[in-house]
């Protein structure tokens, strides 16, 4: 099955579609990086140890 040829609109908007794609990729990278930074700098979560539960 052959792909349909690009509509003229696709050619005309190629530049802005690529720009938007790059913007979204950067946004994803920022959210990911922010998550890593938050996890690394946030309060350290610690599971309650078994020995604590026994002594209580």
Partner 1 sequence: MTDIRVFTETGEAQFGDYIALLKPRVMSLVVFTALVGLLVAPVPVNPFIAFTSILFIALGGGASGALNMWWDADIDAKMRRTRNRPVPAGRIEPGEALAVGVALSGIAVVMLGLAANAFAAALLAFTIFFYVVIYSMWLKRLTPQNIVIGGAAGAFPPMIGWAVATGGVSIESLLMFALIFMWTPPHFWSLSLFMNDDYTNAGVPMLPVARGRKVTRAHIMVYTILLVPVALAAGFTSIGGPVYLATSIVLNLGFLLGAWRIWRRDEVMAQADGYAVEKKVFRFSLLYLFLHFGAFLAQAVLRHYGLGGW
d(CA 55, CA 26): 50
- Does residue 33 sit in helix, strand or coil? helix
Residue 43 in contact with partner 1, rule: CB under 8 A:
no
Q: State the DSSP H helix or E strand holding residue 16, giving kind and residue range, or none if neither.
A: helix 14-41
Q: Which of 40, 47, 50, 54 binds partner 1 (CB under 8 A)?
A: 40
d(CA 51, CA 33): 36
Residue 30 in contact with partner 1, rule: CB under 8 A:
yes
Query: Closest CB to partner 1 among 4 and 38?
Result: 38
Q: Which residues bind partner 1 (CB under 8 A)?
A: 12-13, 15-16, 18-20, 30, 33-34, 36-38, 40-41
């Amino acid at each position: 099955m052959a792909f349909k040829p690009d509509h003229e609109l696709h050619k005309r908007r190629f530049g802005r579609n690529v720009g938007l794609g790059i913007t979204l990729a950067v946004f994803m990278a920022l959210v990911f990086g922010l998550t890593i930074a938050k996890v690394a700098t946030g309060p350290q979560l610690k599971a309650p140890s078994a020995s604590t539960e026994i002594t209580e």
